[in-house]
Structure 1
């Protein structure tokens, strides 16, 4: 797969070299100054570039392999969607073009959308389909890259005496107080962005369209943002040494003992993925890997949690008393939010698994 990825990214860089134009160059897109055939060729290049970027992001999401490209390099407009791209001949294209508001293409690249908070918020509230998926997977890759860089700087400062000597306050305590705080602030900022992309509860991964893919990837990403994919695999002992397993067990246990609402929300994400995919006879593309990771998270939770993560601190704030909470069948956002914030005193049920009974 490495050779194929290298070939695709090389082709992608060549296409970008020929298609990159000034960011604010929003020339009128009319039939008079652009032939339909030329427009199709240009848009095909844009589709190719962003398809390769999507593929690179998915390799990190599902295999923890860092992309061979950077979002900073992709400064070409996003491809057209909808009627314009779906036109099958010149006359249809010209007809759709005349109906397009303002007669102009926005010309925004994914890079500009991500780096401009106002543009990003507006786009995420108004768009759907492929663009939302591109934004979501790019946010995850950017967050992962920044966290990796920050943790690397932390490790370097702690382990390298020459670097420590150049700091104003060269103590390990200072470093542990400073950089982790920036990590926390980064995650909080990303949380706000991801909340804008949160699919409605009525949308499930059962769907066969892009909204289904978006929901499935959203639940997957929300799990591996907090629990590293390689850590989940190491817990099973797959391609992991005894030392790797011990480290994974330590890290996962510490995480379980940390922020309880985060643990409960990840459990909800995993339950949603598992219950909506386990009965599928035919899965497509990303679904088997989403199902695997959702099942792995539930298994890890049952193995290493003590049950306190899901219990309500007080009956006053918990969900209304009932024999069992069907975690994967929460119908309203307030039910989900109450579960995340306060937990539930009783049996937690997931379709296809039954009641979640943690190991004593």
Structure 2
């Protein structure tokens, strides 16, 4: 059985599955074998440099350095040898000149060992704090090593980057996630279908933490982990819902009559019944409590797989991106639904003219 599972079973305190199944050693990590191999050699050789881990969330950055800590230090040495600061801590210049400087400048009582400072989410540090940090990194190299963890490398100043050995943690592939997913399902005695596993992998986009959290929440809300339950639990549109929306966008014609003014008062009275595709989108949104942003993302993915002229595809992608931008700035959803429908009408006309 996996070491992470064995250790979690020794505690009577229930843990979230992301912590319960967190890798405990470097050998337990399921991905980035080249990075793990390189770091293992550096740790075993006793010449660990300053490290900079960057990449998307849930790709194993924090788990990797915590596994290194367990290999470098015994449990009794942890408090005196390791300083870990995360997003809940202040990362301004005062913390760098105070807590970090004091820890780095104090020599260890263990001969031949160096201290380790872990700065999680280092891209949240101000530029002033990073400039103060670079001097500490080079001044106290004999006494301490730094490990900076971030999502965006561009937010780390070049002076700090040049003092660290950089490792990029790419999103995990489905083949890397699936064995750990099956292990959790087996150990927790869950009922999971193949389409449920595929839904978890599709939603995660390479984020192992998201896979485990979604699996736990779905198993707590439903008796079986299948595609419908997974999408329902996270409030994500089902494929069938997106197909219904696309079908209505590609086939309905009443919207054009309405907006061109070619209708009578009797038409207005029956407007709700005639605008089938508008009611289809709003009905699905209301029934499933979906966000328009999620619908736009899924529509974009479907459109990119359709066999349509490249100029039409480009127009749809650009228009959808503009809608997403307006939604991110706080615009209401109803005008964006109107823009979505109008975009498909125009693009359908372009396809007709081209053909």
TM-score by length of 2: 0.28
**Structure showing greater Rg:** 2
Bigger relative contact order, structure 1 or 2 (CA pairs below 8 A, ≥6 apart)? 2
